[in-house]
Structure 1
Amino acid sequence: MRVLIAATPLTGHVNPLLAIGRLLSARGDSVTVLTDPAFADKVTEAGLRFSSYDDQGSAGYLEPTLPPGPERWTNEFDRRFIAPMPVQAARLRELIASEAPDVIVAGSMFLGVLPLLLDTKPRPPIVVVNISILFLDRPDGAPLGMGLPPARDEADFARYAQFKAGMDAAFVGPVRARADRRLAELGLPGLPASLTQSIAILPDAFLQPSVPEFEYDFGSLPETLHFVGLLPMARTNASVPDWWASRDRSKRIVLVTQGTLANAEFGQVVEPTLQALAHRDDLLVIATTGGRPISALTVPIPANARVERFLPFGEILPEIDLLVTNGGYGSVCQALSAGIPIVSAGLSEDKAEVSARIGWSGAGINLATNTPSVAALRDAVETALSDPRYRDRGGVIAEAFAARDAGREILAAIDGLVRIPETLGA
């Protein structure tokens, strides 16, 4: 089978698609990965064919002038994901013509698949792999992005309706309008629903790399939606540090990370966590800078802490007692699959929604801020480590992950869409 993978050029988006690419390649499929040249080496190191399009820095764009708010978020979303859509779609069509893929597997923010999905022209089946929380429209009317738990009563329903009206006017509507304008320029109809809803319902299959136990009840789900569990771990060049084997094994371990995207200011989570736990001789605190220089830290590294640019999560997570995070979806799901309690503090990108689910699920504590205080982190870590309810609930979610064979689920979803002609004479 010939597979074309399309990935938004951000580390947290590319890695899950490469994991699926290796899964397909391992069974003999021919896999080509389309993304920005910045990730060419990563693709070829995974043993996959690389094909390029020029993203022109869109994926990492940050609005330089506007303060945080709907206008800034709209501009960033437009530049990051909507503006590249025509170029991405054109490149996909070129590759369909030259490579004749049997299926396209795309990340959920690679919006270049939308013109293909809305067009009437023949195309291969399209599978979209989500890289975040399930962003279907909520049955309780809560707007996406605010991190609101499921409504409990009529007062919540009324409050959420007001929030949604405001969010629709300020963000959801403008984003959809900008996407519709791009589609109109391509001679295509507009989206059938909000942009996020459309991404989830238009593909031939939509893979959610999680379990229902970590998602809200959305009522009736699309037949094309598949919960697949934890994606296969991405390979990493990071090795286990020398100090890992010789560490004091009587100490519990707290891992703190701000991921690889929202890590420009370590003063948000990493630094205050190091400060909050500096007095804890019973803990080993390990931090990762997500690739940034360790020298970017502006506080002294305490005696009970170790800091690395990258850490091999797959190898160290079984020994971790608590994750402190800004709510990156991939690392949160990895921790949940290992039954690790979580303290989360993040509101940017999708992190308010991820953090809200951590609190709602009972697997951790949601501090609901981008800038938690040292005192708040100290108290949250102490509570999460000492109250067995968090570890117990994390264990329940870990069992749900363990019950799903992600590789098998992913391959079954893809194979169910592809009809390969039988070889003559076979």
Structure 2
Amino acid sequence: MDMETAKTQRVGTREGSGRWPAWLICMALVTVASGCGACQQVIRPAEPTTGPVSTCPGGPVCGIDKALIAGITVTDECPTGNCDPGGNGNAKGLYTAEGGNYCFMVGDTKYFCPEAFVHRPKGLMLSVRYLNGVFGVVEFPVEARLASDSSPVYMLAVEGERTQLTLKYRQNGVEHTLTGADVSKVILSLKSMPMGHGDATQLISYDMRFAPDQKEKTAEDGVHRYRLNYREVRPGNNTWLRLCSGDDDTVVSFLPGQRVSGATGYVKDDATVVTMGCEQGSIVTCLAWGYTPWDPATGLRDETRDYVYQSCLQAKRAAYFVGKGDWRSYTKRKTKIYRRDQYGFGKPQDSFEDVEALWSPLGAVCLNTKNRRRPTAEPWLGQNENNLKTYGVGPCSPEDYTLQGKVFTGPVEDPSTLP
């Protein structure tokens, strides 16, 4: 699974199952211009302001299902069959597109997968997932030194202003802040990470460093991208490897103030966390598509935008049934999709006839199975085409946004022709 590339196509419309009515296309032109700003409510800082109740042009419901969000439980505990973040190669499509591409290597084996920096009273930690499932998700202390002379420094924080990385450290009682190209001046270290159960002597350590990359993309979509190079700390090893090397873009970006479950894609607000993901995973791709949890103009967190962002996390990776307990991704890498949302947040807002699904943070609100983007994705294999397991998720009829569903998707290519 990759960027789930979305294209713009001018097509005719007609009423009927799996089709876009003409008024909905017209509505999109309005929402692109307006953004339906009256619907947005700032939920940060601590005393949010509430906008007036309003109905979006062309849509029956402008608001979001706050009860749905409130009912989500974020956990990395999962039933048998759902826990492997690599699975059959799609890593559930969250932190990266291809299983293990966001993991540090141990020899020739992908092993430690960094997911988020966490600020604890005892200091800065890095939350790491064991790809083989030995320990699940574990937090390790982050140490630091200057790249210029290896002088030790105390890391105070790894922060994200929207997606821009900021490193803060203290040396000799003086606090320093690094942004932009200066973030490469500090080398971060993870020490004595256990390889597995029952062998305390089998430990491994890593160095890592960041540097800005692909600034031309940042100028286009506002998402800051960084190279993350790392190396195993052992005698004679001066070889730096690049995280996300299996993805097309080999860069990471940051999502501040939110933790994304690597099992479900559910999101939890947490001011102590800065999540990190590869470009090709849903976490970063949805930001690049324009689905930021904050207002791009002000940087303030917006609950409507946040709801649509969480819906995109599921839509991009085709996690139709995550809210039903099936946490699998029903797509393959390099699958192209069309997309549009009720508010015009995303860019572009595609015009398309064949509706695949309407999305919420819990997955598909409705699904037209004949238009599913990748019928040959592993979870579909072996199923009766005339009796697919959809966990009670019905077809999208009528095709309209709802209180729960805010993002529509559709296949770009004829699904029946895809391998």
TM-score under structure 2 length normalisation: 0.26
1 or 2, which has the higher helix percentage? 1
